Amino acid sequence: MTPPPQSAADEPVVQQAAQAHGCPAHADSVAMFGPRFVNEDRGQLYRDMREQHGAIAPVTLLGDIPAWLVLGYRELHHVTADPVLFTRDSSVWNQWDRIPPDWPLMPMVGRQPSILYETGVRHARRSAVVGDALSEVDSFELRSYAEQHADGLIDAFCGRAEADLIAEYAKQLPALVLARLYGFTVEDGAALLPSINALIDGADGALEGRQYIQRAMGSLLRSRAITPGGDVSTRMQTHPNSAEFSSEEILEDMMVNIIAGHQPTADWIGNSLRLMLTDDRFSASLSGGRHSVGEAMNEVLWEETPTQNIAGRWATRETYVSGKRIERGDLLVLSFAAANADPQVRPDQTVLTGANSAFFSFGHGEHRCPYPAQEIAEGIARTGIEVLLDRLPDVDLAVAPEALTWRPSPWLHGLESLPVTFSPTTALKNMG
């Protein structure tokens, strides 16, 4: 299924096409915050862009800032597999002179003291701190925490005949479990939740939320330095490589892992539940069985992946991708969603993907989501879905499927809400 990586030398360089599309800021570019990205069928938009431009298309970001959107599976593999030619270091960006200090996308492209912007050997050693700490999470402990918090959230609404499974369940469960794994108490984890969601949503209080999270995590790190525990924060501080990094960097990496781990997992839960509530192929899960929960979750990673697009990579020299000339310093936005739907790797998208896990939903290359983090996200999502189906076996969508709306974000893909109905008698009977 996975095609071989594409080298720059293998590119079918078409000089005429390169001249036509060498500058991404031309008339055919699509605004990533415009109506087509926000209001239209995103899958159809990717198909239209691929038909018009091929595997890489010109787009603009807020403020008419030009970039490239990598749509092709093969091309995305090529870009993410070559960190020397396509760096994560945004300092080489050729648009910095046009970017105001208060640009809304600055948190995505401005260099931060976190692992997301590290490169080279230092990135590899820093990744080992995070990956090794996460790899020691006990799977039984993970499931136990997920079950406890899932039951607690369901207990809060199971006496009613209705609930919003996004606001009341999916947007809470991952952060609560991750906080426990990192060493927070149940109460402290619950106190973190509003700040985490405010920061992710970019809502009022986002700045204050970030400050609250920083203070709470700083306090936890100081506490674990004095009294170590069997948790992620302790293992990150005591890792053999940790002495190479400042306490600020360790704290930032903790924040990245909890915040970046929460929202995609929440969307994975919500998108999977939506699929099972609206697609007859997965109805067995709603009638007491669990065998198709994993299939539905895998299908979502192909069809409705939570992480749709990510900014990005920057070209360190002039090169070509799929016949388009990429100038030194150009920004390439990685479209995981478009690559997952590339007809060269999925010619018949009506066929279920089954156990095929060659999706790009967790990235690729040295900056992909660490495998232990992926396993933790899957454990939280699967447990959350299974507990919900056990507790609410007669759960049903409260609105027509077409009435469900997606959040208007070009980056993450998740529902605004998922209203459902169920029998409170059955839910209360299944308590405990």
In the chain the domains, ranked by start, together with CATH numbers, are 8-429 (1.10.630.10)
d(CA 144, CA 160): 25
d(CA 281, CA 389): 16
Contact at 8 Å (CB) between 245 and 286? Answer: no
| Element at 187 (helix H, strand E) | helix 186-201
Q: How much is the average pLDDT of 306-329?
A: 95
d(CA 381, CA 106): 30
Mean pLDDT estimate for the chain: 88
The confidence band for 107, taking pLDDT boundaries of 50, 70 and 90, is: confident
Q: Is the pLDDT of residue 6 over 70?
A: no
Q: Is the pLDDT of residue 348 over 90?
A: no
Q: Is the pLDDT of residue 8 over 60?
A: no
Instruction: Give the pLDDT confidence score for residue 276 in this predicted structure.
Output: 92
Q: Is the pLDDT of residue 267 over 60?
A: yes
d(CA 260, CA 369): 10
Instruction: Give the pLDDT confidence score for residue 17 in this predicted structure.
Output: 34
The confidence band for 20, taking pLDDT boundaries of 50, 70 and 90, is: very low
Instruction: Give the pLDDT confidence score for residue 346 in this predicted structure.
Output: 83
d(CA 169, CA 163): 9
Instruction: Give the pLDDT confidence score for residue 345 in this predicted structure.
Output: 86
| Nearest CA among 257, 253, 243, 220 for reference residue 377 | 257
Q: What string of DSSP letters covers 65-105? A: EEEEEE--HHHHHHHHT-TTTEES-GGG-TTGGG--TT-TT
Q: How much is the average pLDDT of 105-113?
A: 82
Q: How much is the average pLDDT of 157-174?
A: 96
| Nearest CA among 200, 179, 156, 157 for reference residue 306 | 200
Encoded tokens for 28 = 């055919």
Q: Is the pLDDT of residue 208 over 50?
A: yes
Q: Mind listing the pLDDT tens digit for each residue in 377-430?
A: 999 999 999 999 999 999 999 999 999 999 988 889 999 999 999 998 766 666
Contact at 8 Å (CB) between 262 and 384? Answer: no
Q: Mind listing the pLDDT tens digit for each residue in 234-266?
A: 999 999 999 999 999 999 999 989 988 999 999
Q: Is the pLDDT of residue 127 over 90?
A: yes
Contact at 8 Å (CB) between 109 and 331? Answer: yes
| Residues recorded for the chain | 432
